[in-house]
Amino acid sequence: MISLSQVSNLFMRLVLPFFKTIQLSPLDNVPTTAPRRLIGYRILIFMQDPLRATIVTNLHIKLSCLRPSYLPHAHMDGKYCTRLDIALGKTLHYMVNLESLHINCDLCIVYERHRYLARLVIPQLRDLSVICRCGLAPGLDHAQWNEFPIFDTVEAFRWSIIPSRHITGPYRQGKFTKLKALEYHGGESERSLLEVHPIQRLLFDSRNPGYDPRLIVALARSPGALTHLIFQYSLTVTKAVPHLSSYLDKLQHIGTLPDFALPNTVSEPKACDSLLKWLLRRRHYNSTWAH
């Protein structure tokens, strides 16, 4: 499609609307192994243009560090990962109309990757998910969140940087003012967000979400009320809900993200249905007792 768009201006106008949503998998990031046609990350390079980039409203990208056997000699020293990250940063600079941005990074470990995220200005960004396993990025530390312009408009937030650090200061009041949905994986940063923002949707990304007293405190202080409770792993649903029941009076939906690789996935709806009925009975009992 990229080649077609470069045939003429007419083809360019016809093709550009198809780039409104871009999803890049690891194989899409692989540069050709032919030395004379060494063009890695072609779509990212192609989109480094204001006319093209402003068309995009959704970008979901998986960045992977590839084994040397897949790469030409020039990339065997890790330069490929660095070039790919730099290309993404330059491309995002032009994507000012993004509404959804998901980055899943498995690049090789290099100090201070993704620093461009702290400088991005995307006025319409609503959905932000950043999962980074390359680590060692102090500029992405939770303590620096007050400096990120992209957090001003975010409604759904997922931020997992490994290794993670503890938050060292309070959030500025102007940040996360529209936050409604949050992924929780046991971090102090997520609990701090819960305490000061009216979170309505909570996603548990943990295999062992048993009794968590710090989470209970955060929910008790939260100005909001949970309406949606989602679990990444089905086996954790029955473990977590009883401990949270006092804070689920306005719950409308409970469920799991299906994992079709697991044989017990088919039992998830039944388990969630049973829990929802239990919560309704508990809510009715509390209401009757109060009157």
Average the pLDDT over 99-128 and give the result. 89
- Return the higher-pLDDT residue of 146 and 216: 216
Whether the pLDDT of residue 42 is over 60: the answer is yes
Residue 59 has pLDDT above 90, yes or no: yes
Tell me the per-residue pLDDT of 218-230, one tens digit each, with 9 for 90 and over. 999 999 999 998 8
Q: Specify the higher pLDDT residue, 27 or 126.
A: 126
Residue scoring higher pLDDT (275 or 123): 123
82-106 residue pLDDT tens: 888 899 999 999 999 999 999 998 8
pLDDT of 140 over the 50 cut: yes
SS3 letters across the chain: CHHHHCCCHHHHHHHHHHHCEEEECHHHHCCCCCHHHCCCCHHHHHCCCHHHHCCCCEEEEEEECCCHHHCCHHHCCCHHHHHHHHHHHHHHHHCCCCCEEEEEEECCCCCCCCHHHHHCCCCCCCEEEEEECCCCCHHHCHHHHHHCHHHHCCCEEEEEECCCCCCCCCCCCCCCCCCCEEEECCCHHHHHHHHHCCCCEEEECCCCCCCCHHHHHHHHHCCCCCCEEEECCHHHHHHHHHHHHHHCCCCCEEEECCCCCCHHHHHHHHHHHHHHHHHHHHHHHHHHHHC
Identify the band that residue 271 occupies on the pLDDT scale cut at 50, 70 and 90.
low
pLDDT, average across residues 199-217: 80
Domain positions in the chain? 1-68+77-179, 191-201+212-285
- pLDDT score of 32: 47
When comparing pLDDT for 282 and 14, which is higher?
Answer: 14
Band of residue 76 on the pLDDT scale cut at 50, 70, 90 = very low
On whether the pTM is more than 0.85, the answer is no
Residue 65 has pLDDT above 70, yes or no: yes
